[in-house]
């Protein structure tokens, strides 16, 4: 695909960055109808969109489905935008407001009807930019008021991180809910597996709560992720230098483990290392059909005798997006400028669409800039 500038959409249309699901490496710029709001919707001008491992798996044709009646799927599920116009029934946001938008749409199951599409029983939801609905890599989109979360202007530079932060918010909220079985649940030691955006935001959120955190990844320090970890008072270890079991052996009872590596073998490691009364939260999705020997008897004994819990967590609810906005502001107050270090690569909208698929092994988070003043 040419890297030449893409002209603005003609009257009634606009450009978008899309793929053909099931066709590897099919990133292209397409044309879409320019949206018009219904009475309960707002028109949002996209400012920037985050790129994550899910987007790369979509580009590699490992997952994804287009909207009904379309061969294309517009990418992008981590968005920061500005409201341009609103329908007459919209009250919570107004033109000029910065907003983030949620990803999942309900399918009508009991969980969806109670406002928890992230907990859909039937797994029949749609996900913007992933499954059955176009994403946010466009000039504008429309959204119903309940799915928009306001963001303070002071967070304009880092607000695009609210969606990945919401994933961690849900994970830790669910760990707290599970451990309500304990009158004394107050985690003091956590192990974060993975130093991508999810792992780093989880590290920051746990440090905000005063938890002692060890974040483990492959790359030896110094590197951008290690710098973020150490700046917030956590410890960073490379498994290329020190085996994970040796790192865990230096810690007291591990109360909480967040697994965010995308490496399925580490799930078994997490089960082995989790402390008594601990919670292991699985946050990464692993493709493929990997198999490996696992010490099942030992794991079973330790989970039973130690009252341990392992839980999967995906996406987030509206309350987690709202909490993400609140805690992102707290990150900025506690560690000014640190959160912005998570964003290490910026691409120029439609001009650099083909680079979305590029690996960024020397950085952390890539965002695509669409409308910057």
Instruction: State which H helix or E strand residue 51 sits in.
Output: strand 41-51
Q: How many structural domains comprise the chain? A: 2
Q: How far apart are CA 220 and CA 226, in angstroms?
A: 8
Compute φ and ψ for 132, nearest 5 degrees.
Answer: 80, 5
Residue 335's pLDDT band, with cuts at 50, 70 and 90, is very high
Residue 359's pLDDT band, with cuts at 50, 70 and 90, is low
Q: Say yes or no: 351 and 303 in one domain.
A: no
Residue 4 reports pLDDT greater than 70: no
The pLDDT assigned to 105 comes to 72
The pLDDT assigned to 1 comes to 30
Q: Say yes or no: 237 and 146 in one domain.
A: no
CB 357 within 8 A of CB 27: yes
* Residue 346 domain-assigned (yes or no): yes
* Residue 99 domain-assigned (yes or no): yes
pTM equals 0.92
The range of the structural domain enclosing residue 40 comes to 13-151+341-369
Q: Say yes or no: 207 and 279 in one domain.
A: yes
Q: Say yes or no: 22 and 144 in one domain.
A: yes
* Residue 2 domain-assigned (yes or no): no
Q: Say yes or no: 351 and 244 in one domain.
A: no
| pLDDT per position as a tens digit, 85-138 | 999 999 999 999 999 998 877 777 888 888 888 888 887 778 899 999 999 999
Q: Say yes or no: 237 and 365 in one domain.
A: no
* Residue 77 domain-assigned (yes or no): yes
Compute φ and ψ for 280, nearest 5 degrees.
Answer: -105, 120
Q: Say yes or no: 239 and 196 in one domain.
A: yes
| pLDDT per position as a tens digit, 146-200 | 899 999 999 999 999 999 999 999 999 999 999 999 998 999 999 999 999 999 9
SS3 category, 142: strand
CATH number of the domain to which 281 belongs: 3.40.50.720
Q: Identify the CA nearest to 30 among candidates 46, 13, 49.
A: 13
The pLDDT assigned to 372 comes to 57
* Residue 161 domain-assigned (yes or no): no
CATH number of the domain to which 356 belongs: 3.90.180.10
* Residue 334 domain-assigned (yes or no): no
Q: Identify the CA nearest to 229 among candidates 242, 240, 241, 214.
A: 214
């Amino acid at each position: 695909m040419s890297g030449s500038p893409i002209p603005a959409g003609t009257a009634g249309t606009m450009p978008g960055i899309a793929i053909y699901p099931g066709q590897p490496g099919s990133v292209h710029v397409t044309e879409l109808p320019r949206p018009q709001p219904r009475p309960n919707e707002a028109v949002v001008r996209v400012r920037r969109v985050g790129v994550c491992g899910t987007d790369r798996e979509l580009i590699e044709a490992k997952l994804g489905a287009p909207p009904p009646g379309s061969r294309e799927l517009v990418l992008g599920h981590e968005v920061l935008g500005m409201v341009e116009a609103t329908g007459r029934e919209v009250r919570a946001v107004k033109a000029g407001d910065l907003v983030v938008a949620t990803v999942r749409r309900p399918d009508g199951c009991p969980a969806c009807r109670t406002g928890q599409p992230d907990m859909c029983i039937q797994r029949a939801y749609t996900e913007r930019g992933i499954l059955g609905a176009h994403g946010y890599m466009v000039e504008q989109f429309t959204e119903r008021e309940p799915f928009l979360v306001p963001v303070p202007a002071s967070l304009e530079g880092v607000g695009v991180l609210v969606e990945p932060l919401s994933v961690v918010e849900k994970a830790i909220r669910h760990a707290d809910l599970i451990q309500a079985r304990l009158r004394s649940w107050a985690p003091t030691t956590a192990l974060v597996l993975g130093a991508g955006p999810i792992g780093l935001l989880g590290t920051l959120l746990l440090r905000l709560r005063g938890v002692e955190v060890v974040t483990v990844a492959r790359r030896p320090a110094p590197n951008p992720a290690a710098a973020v970890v150490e700046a917030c008072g956590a410890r960073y270890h490379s498994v290329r230098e020190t085996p994970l079991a040796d790192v865990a052996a230096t810690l007291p009872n591990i109360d909480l483990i967040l697994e965010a590596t995308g490496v399925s073998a580490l799930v078994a490691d997490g089960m082995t290392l989790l402390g008594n009364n601990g919670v292991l939260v699985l946050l990464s999705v692993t493709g493929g059909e990997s198999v490996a020997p696992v010490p099942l008897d030992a794991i079973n004994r330790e989970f039973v005798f130690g009252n341990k819990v392992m839980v999967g967590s995906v996406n987030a609810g509206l309350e987690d997006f709202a909490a993400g906005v609140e805690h992102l502001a707290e990150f900025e107050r506690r560690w000014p400028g640190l959160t912005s270090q998570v964003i290490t690569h910026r691409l120029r909208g439609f001009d650099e669409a083909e680079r979305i698929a590029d690996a960024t092994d020397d950085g952390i988070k890539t965002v695509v800039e669409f409308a910057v003043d």
